[in-house]
Structure 1
Amino acid sequence: MTREGRVRAVPPALVPCVGRPPEPEDVAPMVIYLLGDKSRHITGQVYSVFGPKISVLSKPVEARSMYTTERWTPDSIEAHIDAGIGQEPFLSVFKEYDEAVNAAIEAEPAK
């Protein structure tokens, strides 16, 4: 048992949707862990954090790339990422969640 609760590895089909969108507070601990020395053995992995669920994705494929002649900076990434490589379509779980939220909002009576 950890301070955060029980941790188990389970197949994706057995994990129910958590019922809320991911928030920065959900993702930040994973980012901090991956930036630290204790994760230096991890390389080339793609992780997803969705509420209480952390997943590793299998066999990600490079779709597009962008290059620079200098080192990337946060500002240069911001300036080029949308036109340079863009984004892949939303994962279906996010799309389904967004559709459910939008439907619930539309169903609410006007105040």
Structure 2
Amino acid sequence: MSKKPRKSRKERNAEQAERQQQVREDAKARCRPSRDDLARVLLRQIITAAQAHEDKDRALGKVRDSLTNDLERQGFAVRECEEVFHDIADRYSDGLYPFRPKRHLMPS
């Protein structure tokens, strides 16, 4: 029984790129949200809920600290995490819908 020769890295990468493109096209056709789409919406829901809390500053601080601690464990700088969090929270506080419409999901 003969072994198949191993494909080159270039061939494997090309096949992987083709498979990944097919996954993206299938997800688009099914209007399937990505993990990032879900994470963005969830973060917005958490932040806006904290902003609506009676003790807004304390609630937002707890959310910020929790996120910052997890990101710090991944190697991110605490101060940078806090700045990004506050920038996002400020954008969400204006009440405008923060996400661009995904035109490919809109009914024609």
TM over 0.5: no
Q: TM-score range by the shorter chain?
A: under 0.3
| TM-score when normalising by structure 2 | 0.25
| TM-score when normalising by structure 1 | 0.24
- Greater share of helix: 2
- Greater share of strand: 1
Q: Which of 1 and 2 has greater Rg?
A: 2
